[in-house]
Amino acid sequence: MYSRILFCLLLHGTAVSLVRGDCNTCTYPSEVACVSATQFQFCVNNSPTGPVNTCPNGMVCTGGATICQGNGVAPAACSGCNECNLNQTFACTGPRTFALCLGSSVISNITGNCAPYHVCNIDTPNICGNATLGSPATCSFIDSTPTPEPTTTPTTDPTAYCRLIRQNGRFPYGTLLCSTCRQYIGCYLLSGIWYGAIYTCPGNLFFDSTSRYCTKTVPARCSLGVQNIQLFNITLE
């Protein structure tokens, strides 16, 4: 039964072609969603539902006009996971976790979690989209092994922070809209030892972790859908 449906979809399934090979997104009108690089589910009420189907050997799920295609012909779905977004603000590292990119294409060691009912979406400027409102997760739920949230302690010691991040420059201090969103930590190396200091943006500006400047716009890490961020074992409140 399923193989007949699959065969039919492989030949005739049509849908909007998606550039990156989106994940967990129901395509119209084929009504399927890729849920990993090689697997898909059918959609009911625009939500992936029921058994997980696997593409034929050597094929990847594309979510495009043809659901499964030869590897290399079209980009596999769920490939936006662990990649910095175009704005170099963040990367989704799991369905509900992310890491900041700090204005480069390299994923930093500052990681974070989405708030309840939110999922990390590479196309959302605010990092975590409201899943109840239909925002899909960029990373596969099936491929991700849930890791327990690390036990972290809040710290106000900028030197401890700089000894963990071990890089020169300005870094985000926290996610509290009225206080730490407006501050940043400057790290510097002196005689081979890392030191840090806390600075406050002038006026009512916020510290933008991508441009590394103080700006008027509320930074992504300080938006409602973000639960917290941390640097190894320290919470950045």
Q: Applying CB under 6 A, which residues contact ligand NAG?
A: 85, 87, 89, 106, 108-109, 117, 123, 125, 130, 132-133, 153, 155, 224, 233-234
Nearer residue to ligand NAG within complex by CB, 56 or 125: 125
Residue 188 CA: distances (Å) to CA of 211, 212, 234: 18, 15, 19
In the complex, least distance from residue 75 CB atom to ligand NAG, rounded to whole angstroms: 18
Which of helix, strand or coil describes residue 52?
strand
Q: Which residues contact 201 (CB under 8 A, 6 or more apart)?
A: 182, 183, 184, 207, 214
Strand partners, 94: 97
Radius of gyration in angstroms for the set of CA atoms belonging to the chain, rounded to a whole number: 20
Helix (H) or strand (E) holding 8: helix 2-12
Q: Which is nearer to ligand NAG, 8 or 193 (CB)?
A: 193
Closest to ligand NAG by CB, 13 vs 21, is 21
Distances (CA, A) of 91 to 87, 99, 132, 180: 10, 5, 21, 22
CB of residue 157 to ligand NAG, shortest distance in Å: 8
Minimum Å gap between C-beta 59 and ligand NAG is 30
Contact 194, 176 (CB under 8 A): no
Report, in Å, the least distance between residue 95 CB and ligand NAG.
Answer: 16
Q: How far is the CB of 210 from ligand NAG (least distance, A)?
A: 8
Q: Closest CB to ligand NAG among 65 and 234?
A: 234
Residue closer to ligand NAG by CB (options 14, 235) is 235
